[in-house]
Amino acid sequence: MLLSFPNWIIHLSSALEWGLGAALLFRYGRLCNRRDIRIFALSMLPHWSGSFFVLGYHVSGDSIPLLLDLSEIINLFGSISLLLATLNLLKSTKKAPSVGFAAALGAIIISGKPQSYLGEDIFDTILQLSSVVYISFLVLLFLVYRRDRTIFSGLTVAGFWFVLVFISVTIFCMYLATVVRGFPTLSHDDLLHGMAESLLTISNLMIAIGAHRKIREYETNLAGSAQG
């Protein structure tokens, strides 16, 4: 295996924190009796399952690229699920989203040409399409937060947006590892790989802590109402 023990801790923490964030958001949806929030929490599960394919890829010493391809396909469906769930939340704000906002798309052009079981062109296309869908999700998520602050904590919204920082730094670290330092892949440069992955750990932790804050806030308000 290419990853060091500290790097494994970082990767496992990232996966567990995303799952914890989904579980906390689902609990919050049950507490406040919001089915749309529970649906959003469930829409996070495809990304969570995709992370285990990445872990499997690293367990194999990056020798089974099919696992990485499957994770990217799952993440694409995960981003689509998040986008649809956020559109559903936007309807609950009682303000119909304009076609312009609903159709707003951005793109992150993933640099580098990693080897892929499916082929480089397909691999890059999946990555770019997933990025377009994810940024569309972020735009709508921000609209939901602006219109109804009871759904998400600001920290949770910031956590989803912070994923873009992780992606950008990962691309830069990939360039440093493969072009400047001459490693075959980013995984072969344990320091840069761990530094990049630690940013995903931070973003996922922000999502989970933000969801926990909303639960505490709801329970506090509920207790105050009962006492009143």
Q: Give the Cβ contact number of residue 27 at 10 Å.
A: 18
pLDDT band for position 225 (50/70/90)?
confident
Q: Is the pLDDT of residue 117 over 90?
A: no
Class of domain 5-219: mainly alpha
Q: Can you give the residue ranges of every domain in the chain?
A: 5-219
Q: What is the pLDDT of residue 63?
A: 87
**Choice among 113-117, 142-146, 165-169, 224-228 with the minimum mean pLDDT:** 113-117
Q: What is the pLDDT of residue 228?
A: 59
Q: What is the pLDDT of residue 61?
A: 86
pLDDT band for position 106 (50/70/90)?
very low
**Looking at beta carbons, which pairs linking 44-47 to residues 24 or more positions away fall under 8 Å?**
44/18, 44/78, 44/81, 44/82, 45/78, 46/74, 46/75, 46/77, 46/78, 46/81, 47/18, 47/74, 47/75, 47/78, 47/79, 47/82
Q: What is the pLDDT of residue 215?
A: 97
pTM of the full structure? 0.86
> How many angstroms separate the CA atoms of 134 and 137, rounded?
5
10 contact partners, CB below 8 Å, separation of at least 6: 194, 197, 198, 201
> How many angstroms separate the CA atoms of 176 and 108, rounded?
19
